Structure 1
Amino acid sequence: MEKVPKMLDQACVPPPGYLTISESISPSLELINISRRCGVSLAQFLHRDMLVTMGLITFFIDREAILTPKYLSQMGRLIIDIWGRIIF
């Protein structure tokens, strides 16, 4: 569900349950597919871990391959901490 921001809303403080995504670092389709297949939300990724995963996706694309959840799981683990955040 999308929400139209109000004038007083700030991108750095999204409402509970929402994620602010900048156009300059929008998630790739591969990252969205990985999060769906793993049953997690993009909002659960810590910024650093999302950037690492996006870097791996770019690395695979440069080599004309696709980073799948299977390949990702062979390189590391997606762990959900006690606050529900994703750590890679």
Structure 2
Amino acid sequence: MEKQTRIEMSDLSRRVTIEGMMVDVQIFRFDDEPDWVIVVANESGRTNRWDEVFASDTAAMAAFQIVAQEEGLAACLCQGGELAVH
């Protein structure tokens, strides 16, 4: 019997609103992987999974906050039909 991979969600995952734009920030890792992943979704369901992975959920949230504050939430999502790469 194969072991099923489980997802560990970070307690740092949350809904963020900046300048009237709201996104859900999901930070998680698979139980068989050490690195944390960020997925950002807007209200219409458009999502962006960041290419970069992080050693901790704290590092992942810090990276999200830096991009959101310096470039805005739109930089954390799909833009112009293409995925924003982080």
TM range (shorter): 0.3 to 0.5
**Structure number having the greater helix percentage:** 1
Instruction: Find the structure with the greater CA-based Rg.
Output: 1
TM-score of the superposed pair, with normalisation by structure 2: 0.34
**Structure number having the greater strand percentage:** 2
Structure number with the bigger relative contact order (C-alpha 8 A, sep ≥ 6) is: 1
TM-score of the superposed pair, with normalisation by structure 1: 0.34
